[in-house]
Amino acid sequence: MLSVEVENRSGVEVDEAGAVELACRVLRAEGIEAGELGISFVGRDEIRSLKNEHLGIDEATDVLSFPIDGSDDLPDGMPRALGDVVICPQVVGEEWRWPLTHGLLHLLGYDHGDEMEAREQTHLA
């Protein structure tokens, strides 16, 4: 079973139920049937701070991913902790679906490139 925890600290309204639905759909399509995922919607200052702290780049961004287990093989009985996707609605505007999908694919080990772009297009079609 997929467990998705959503937190909105962005100060703007977001479709949390839609984010959970999209995340579950993408993860299942990628072969992940069970695991825990966190999705956080944050403001511009918070995402800028996170990007600076973790990547050494002092700028706001649309999405950051913090993978834990991803799609790695786990011992039997070990719950899968996928990680967290952090999205800034003030940067992406109302179109958070692509950044969420992008962030989820990073959690699963995809890197930027043609394969990742093809997966994004498939999931968002």
pLDDT at 70 (0 to 100) = 65
Statement: residue 111 has pLDDT above 90: no
Range of the domain at 114: 2-124
Q: CA–CA separation, 106 vs 7, rounded Å?
A: 20
Reported pTM: 0.90
Q: What's the CATH number where 98 sits? A: 3.40.390.30
Q: CA–CA separation, 82 vs 108, rounded Å?
A: 8
Statement: residue 71 has pLDDT above 70: no
Q: How many domains does the chain have?
A: 1
pLDDT at 15 (0 to 100) = 94
Q: Give residue-wise pLDDT tens across range 77-106.
A: 777 789 999 999 999 988 899 999 999 999
